[in-house]
Amino acid sequence: MYRGHSINQAAAAITAPFVPGAAYQKYAEDIFRQTASSSVKKHGEFFDAIHSQFVTLFHARRYFEYIDYWVGVLDFLKSIDSQLFDKIHKGTPYYFCGVASFMAQDYQRSAFYFYAALIEDK
């Protein structure tokens, strides 16, 4: 059970890909800009906070929707400021996408995301 609901019920309430509302866009943009000039640890904390909003997709084994959600988050952040986006550490979302791809038995995609996470960690 997930807060009184099954994982599948909780995951059903999440729509992928990620389409943020206006209030969320403003909040995410403010946090993104504050975090982007911080340390790698802060970047990880930022992505961990975002991850908590849709981890139920992973637990419900809806791996491709989970990956689509992460890709949507990254696309949204890149649309805010592509130069800032290039500077932040994105190893966390790439790693999560690698794990989800592996669980979905899409090993080629998994290798791609794990490699991208490795490059971010250099």
Domains of the chain from N-terminus onward: 7-120 (1.25.40)
Rounded Cα distance between 73 and 60, Å, is 20
Residue 50 has pLDDT above 50, yes or no: yes
Highest average pLDDT, of 21-25, 54-58, 91-95, 105-109, comes from: 105-109
**pLDDT score recorded for residue 100:** 96
Residue 101 has pLDDT above 90, yes or no: yes
Residue 17 has pLDDT above 60, yes or no: no
For 54-99, the pLDDT digits (tens) are 788 889 999 998 998 888 888 888 888 888 888 888 888 999 999 9
Say if residues 91 and 114 touch (Cβ distance below 8 Å): no
Rounded Cα distance between 32 and 12, Å, is 27
**Which position has the higher pLDDT, 18 or 119?**
119
**pLDDT score recorded for residue 22:** 66
State phi, psi for 2 to the nearest 5 degrees.
-125, 100
The stretches of the chain forming alpha helices (DSSP H) are: 7-12, 22-36, 40-51, 55-59, 63-80, 82-87, 91-103, 107-120
Rounded Cα distance between 71 and 17, Å, is 8
